[in-house]
Structure 1
Amino acid sequence: MRIDVLRSSAGRVPHLGEQVELRGLLQELARRGVEGVLVDRGEAPGGLVCGAEPAGQDPPGAAAQVVPDEAEQPAPEAEGLLLSGAGPDGPAGPELLADWLGAARTAARHGRPVVISGLALDARNAPAEVLRELLGTASLVGLRDEASRALALRLCPDHPGLHLGADDILVLPTPDTAAGPAPEVAPPRIVAALGHLTGPFGTDEAAPVLTALLAALVHRTAGTVAVLPCGGARADVEFAEAVATGLPEGTRPHVLAPDPAADALVLAADHLVTTCPRAVALGLAAGADVLSVGTEKYAAERMEAVLRRWGLTENVVPLAALLTPGATAWDTRAAVQQWATETVEQRAAVRSALAEAVPALHAAGDRWWDGVVVALRGGEPQRLSSTAVAPRGVGAPLVRSLRRRYTTPAAPPARPTVVAVVLRTRGRPAALSRALDDVLAQTFTDWRLVVVDDGGDPAVVDRLLAERQDELAGRATVLHHRRGLGPGAAVNRGLRATDSELVVLRDDHEPWTPTFLQRAVARLEDPLTTDDGVVVHAQAGEPAPAGPAAPTLTGALGGERAAPGSFVYRRAVHGVLGDYDESLAAAADWEFALRFLETFTVGLVRGHPHPVRARGNEGSGAGPALRGRDELLVRERHLKQWTGENGVGLPLYLSREIREQAEGLHARLDGSEVVARELLELVREQSARIEQLERAVAERGFTAFWRRVWRAVRGR
C-alpha cells in the first residue's frame, strides 16, 4: 500500500529532531506494510495537488485562509493521505491548515482515506471553519496536547477519531531504527537547545538566566557544553549565540546548526537545558535530565504534554519564575544553582524512571500507529488511551516551588492568594473582554479575580467569564449589582469577597502588560523594600524621566492621580486607613490615595524584572535631578510630620487655593497675551500707513521741485 505523507515543515528552515522524527514515521509505516512517500507543500506527486506556493516561499498573508479549488485536480495515485505535523514546534497556522484542507478535499473526493497525526493548534490563530472542515474530512486525528484536543472537540464534538497522538515517541530508538549518525567528537554532557523568544520577555532578560543555568551545571558536573538553536531561523541562531556568549571563556561553545549531527548530540546528552518541545522529546529518549524552561505559555504547555507522556508531570519551569523566584530563592543565581544541584543529585532516579517508561511508550506508539494504518486502509480504529505511563514524582523538588505562582493551578487555591484583582465594569462588554484577557495573560498566576458588575447586564458578564472558564481555573468570582453603587462601594464589596496579601484595583478600560503583576509582587516582596504600595509603569524598559517619579503626598495634594490599575498595595493598610469612601462618586480613588500617602510610602516599578539582584552602590553625582529629588524628600518628610500632628485639611485647602490662584493668574496672563497681540497688530497697521504716506510725500516733493525748475528756465 502506498500513501502520500504531506508534512508541515517542507520548504521551511530545518528544525531540531525533524529528520529523526520523519525517519521514525516512515519506518513505523514500513513495519506495517505501508510505503510512505514524503510530499512537499506545493508539489504534486501522484496527482496530489496542494495548491500552495512553491516550496521555500511563503504565500501572502492575505490568502492564508483561502482553500485551493480541487475541482479540476486528477485522482491521486496514492491510496491514502497522511497529514503529518512533524517538524517545527509551533502550532499549525491558517496557511498550513488551508494547504492541508485542499489536499484532504482532493483525497476525499476520490475516496482516499485521510489521517492527521501530530496536529498542534493555537486557538488564537486557527481559522474555525477551515479547521472544522479539515477535521471532518479525516477519519483519525492525532493531536499533540490536551489544549489542541480540547479545541478540536469544541469544533467537532461528535467526531469519534480525535485522540492524543504519539508523534514524539518516534524518536525512541528501536531495534530496527538508528538514532542518527554518531558525533565525530565525544558527546558533551550538557546540551542547550534554544528557540527564539515569542513571549513577554526579551533576549536581554532571558539569555542571562539560561547562561547562569548552564554555568551552574558546568560547575556541578565539570562537563562541556554544546549550544544549538531549535530551528534554523536567524532569530533562533541569534538567541542561542546570546546565551553562549555569556558563558565563561573556558566553557564558551560554538553555536551549531540544527542537522542530524546536532540531533545526535541531544540524543547523547546527560543534561539538556531547553525551551523547545521537540528537544524535550529527544532528551527524554536519550535518558537525559531535561531542564525545561518555558519562555511563553504555548511552548510550556507543549513541553508539559511531552513530559506527561513519560509520566513526568509539572516539570517545566516558567522563565518568569527564575527571574523573580520570590521566597523560593534570593535571586536568579541562587535559584538556578539550587536547580542544578538537585538535578545532578537526582540523576540516577530520573534515568531509572525514564528507562522504566520506555516499554509502555513503545506499546502506546504501536497502538497509535496500528490505528493510523487501519484508518489509512479505510477501517475504523479502536478507541485509544491517552495515558501511556502512570504519573510519577521524579524531579527536582525546587521545580514545584518555582512553578507555584507562575502556572495555572489545577484546582482553585484553598489558601489566601497573593494578589486580589478587583475589576470594576459596567455595560462595556468589549472592554471587559480585553481586561479579562489581560489578567489571564499575566506571567504571575497566584491571583484571585473579583469582577464587580456595577449595574451592567449580568448575562453578558457571565458569558464572558464562561468562555474563559478553563483558563480562569476557579480563580474568578463575579458580584452583580442591579443598581450601580458607585466606584467606592464596588471596590469595598470586591475587597470583602477576597482574602489576599496584596490588592490591585482596575477598571475594564485600563491596559496591562503581561509582566505587570510579576514586577509589582517582586518589588513588594523584596526584603529591602519599605514601601507599602507600588505604581507599575505601563511600558517596561522605558528610561526613567528626570526628577521625581514615584507618587507623593505633595503631588496628590496638588491633584496628581495615578491610574488605579497601576497601583498595587498591601491589604493590611485597610486596618489603618479603613475602606474607600462610598459617598464620593468620581474622587473615591483619589481620596484613598491621599490617606494612603499621608501614612505610607509608594514606590515606582519601572523596567523589566532583573535576572540578578543589583547590590552595587549607585553613582554619587549631585546633578540637578538628584538635588530636586532630595529636596522633594525633605519637603515630603516635613509635610507628613505636620499632617500627622494637625491633619491634612489645611494643606488640602491651601493646595486648592493655590491651584485656583494659579489658574486665575494663567487666565489673566492669557488675556494679557490676547491684548498684546491686538496692540501689536494695530502698531503694524499704523506702521504700514506711515510708510505709504512717506512714499507719497516723497514723490510729490520731487515732482514739484522739477516743475519749478522748468518754469524758471522757460521764464528766461
Structure 2
Amino acid sequence: MKDNREPTVSVIIPCYNYSDYLPQALDSVLKQTFSDWEIIVVDDGSTDGSAEVAQGFIDLHPDQRIRLIRQANAGVSAARNSGIAAAAARYILPLDADDMIAPTMLEKTTAVLDADPDVAIASTDLFIFTDIEDLPPEVLPLPPYDRELLLQRLIMFYCSLYRREVWETVGGYNEQMDAGEDWDFWIGCAENGFDAHHISEPLFGVRNKDTGLHVQAAENDLAVRARIVANHSAMFKPLTCAWAQALLHLDQGSCRYDARVPDEILSRAGEMDQFLQVVMDLQRMARSQYYRIQELEKPVAD
C-alpha cells in the first residue's frame, strides 16, 4: 500500500525517446538504501513508447510512489520544471532517463542537507559507463565546491540533490537554454547566495553515448558560455559581459574570442573540460572494442 505522507526526496526524470534506458534509471532509484522518495517521470512528447514503458513500470510497482506526467515536447529544462512543480518533497534530485544513481546516492546526499541547514545543494563525483559489459566505468572526481571556480567551469553536474526553495528562488531551469542549462542553474544558485557541499564519492552515473546534450554542449561551448554570462551579468566582469553580448550578436561561424582577455571563462572556452575529455575517450574505446568484437566474431559466423 502506498504511503500517503509527503516524501523527503522527489526524483524528477525527464524522458524524451529513451524508452530503452528508462527502466535502468528507474531501477537505480528502486535500489536506493534510502527509501523515502517519490519518482516523477515527465514524458516530454516521446514518440518511441517511453510513456508506455513508464506506465508499465508503475503498474509493476503499485506499492511505490511513482507518477507519470505527459506533455508536448518542450526540452529538458521545461520537463524538469514541470516535474518539480508537481513534486511533493522538500528535496529535489533531477535524473535524466539515460543515466542512473548508485544505491547510496540518496542516503548520503540527504544526510548532508539534513545535517547543515546552510548547505542547499549536495553534489558528488560521478562514474561514466557504457552499454558494453566488459568496459568498466570510468570514475571522474570533481573538485570541492567553490563559487569562483563554478564561474570558470562546470564543477558539479545536474544530478545533485537540492532544497526545493533553491529551485523556487532561482526561478527554475532556463527553458531558453538548449545546452548548459544545469551550469546556468548552478550559477543562478550562487547568485542567490546558496551554498553547496561536494561528496568525494562517485554516486551518479552518466551513460556514455555518441549523441547527447554533453556532446552538443561541447560543440557549442563558446555560445553556451556567452549565454550563461549574459544571463548572470552581475556575477562576471564588465569586460566578460561585453564579450558575451558581442558574441551573441555574431553568427556562430564568425566568432572569435581574444585569448588575452584575463577572465578564466574566456581562456578556457575553446578547451574541453575534463568530463568531456573522459566522455570522448570512452566513446573511442567503446567503438574500438565493438569493432574488435565484430572482427573476432566473423570467423565464427563463417
Normalising by structure 2, we get a TM-score of: 0.61
Aligned to 1:606: 200
TM superposition shift of 1:517:
0.6
Q: Secondary structure at the match of 1:417?
A: coil
Structure number with greater CO (CA < 8 Å, separation at least 6) is: 2
CA distance in 1 between partners of 2:63 and 2:26 (Å): 13
Matched, 1:587 2:180: yes
TM superposition shift of 1:497:
1.0
CA distance in 2 between partners of 1:518 and 1:662 (Å): 38
CA distance in 1 between partners of 2:172 and 2:109 (Å): 22
CA distance in 1 between partners of 2:182 and 2:149 (Å): 15
Aligned to 1:555: 149
TM superposition shift of 1:557:
1.4
Q: Secondary structure at the match of 2:126?
A: coil
Amino acid at match of 1:478: L
Gap change, CA 1:653 and 1:501, over 3 Å in 2: same
Given that residues 513 and 538 in structure 1 are in contact (C-alpha distance below 8 angstroms), is that contact kept between their aligned partners in structure 2? no
Aligned to 1:647: 234
Matched, 1:466 2:56: yes
TM superposition shift of 1:495:
0.8
Aligned to 1:210: none
Aligned to 1:488: 77
TM superposition shift of 1:451:
0.6
Note the residue ranges of structure 2 that are not aligned, 5 or more in a row: 128-138, 204-232, 245-260, 272-302
Note the residue ranges of structure 1 that are not aligned, 5 or more in a row: 1-409, 610-645, 667-716
Aligned to 1:634: none
**Number of residue-to-residue matches in the alignment:** 213
Given that residues 531 and 603 in structure 1 are in contact (C-alpha distance below 8 angstroms), is that contact kept between their aligned partners in structure 2? yes
Q: Secondary structure at the match of 2:38?
A: strand
Pairs within 5 Å for 1:479-628: 479-481=69-71, 483-526=72-115, 528=116, 530-538=118-126, 549-565=143-159, 567-598=160-191, 599-607=193-201
TM superposition shift of 1:552:
2.6
TM superposition shift of 1:603:
0.2
Given that residues 15 and 50 in structure 2 are in contact (C-alpha distance below 8 angstroms), is that contact kept between their aligned partners in structure 1? no
TM superposition shift of 1:503:
0.4
Gap change, CA 1:655 and 1:418, over 3 Å in 2: farther
Q: Secondary structure at the match of 1:453?
A: strand
Larger helix share, 1 or 2: 1
CA distance in 2 between partners of 1:433 and 1:595 (Å): 32
Amino acid at match of 1:510: D
Q: Secondary structure at the match of 2:176?
A: coil
Given that residues 557 and 594 in structure 1 are in contact (C-alpha distance below 8 angstroms), is that contact kept between their aligned partners in structure 2? yes
Q: Secondary structure at the match of 1:523?
A: helix
Normalising by structure 1, we get a TM-score of: 0.27
Matched, 1:662 2:267: yes
Q: Secondary structure at the match of 2:172?
A: coil
Q: Secondary structure at the match of 2:56?
A: helix
Given that residues 440 and 471 in structure 1 are in contact (C-alpha distance below 8 angstroms), is that contact kept between their aligned partners in structure 2? no
Q: Secondary structure at the match of 1:507?
A: coil
CA distance in 2 between partners of 1:660 and 1:471 (Å): 46
Q: Secondary structure at the match of 2:41?
A: strand
Larger strand share, 1 or 2: 2
CA distance in 2 between partners of 1:584 and 1:601 (Å): 23
Structural RMSD (CA): 3.3
Query: Which is higher, the Rg of structure 1 or of structure 2?
Result: 1
Aligned to 2:249: none
CA distance in 2 between partners of 1:525 and 1:655 (Å): 41
Q: Secondary structure at the match of 2:99?
A: coil
Given that residues 22 and 98 in structure 2 are in contact (C-alpha distance below 8 angstroms), is that contact kept between their aligned partners in structure 1? yes
Q: 2:6 aligns with which of 382, 403, 416?
A: 416
Gap change, CA 1:510 and 1:655, over 3 Å in 2: farther
Q: 2:43 aligns with which of 440, 453, 468?
A: 453
Moved over 4 A (4+): 654-657, 663-666
Gap change, CA 1:472 and 1:446, over 3 Å in 2: farther
Amino acid at match of 1:549: P
Aligned to 1:444: 34
Gap change, CA 1:665 and 1:557, over 3 Å in 2: closer
Q: Secondary structure at the match of 2:98?
A: coil
- The alignment-based identity, stated in percent, is 23
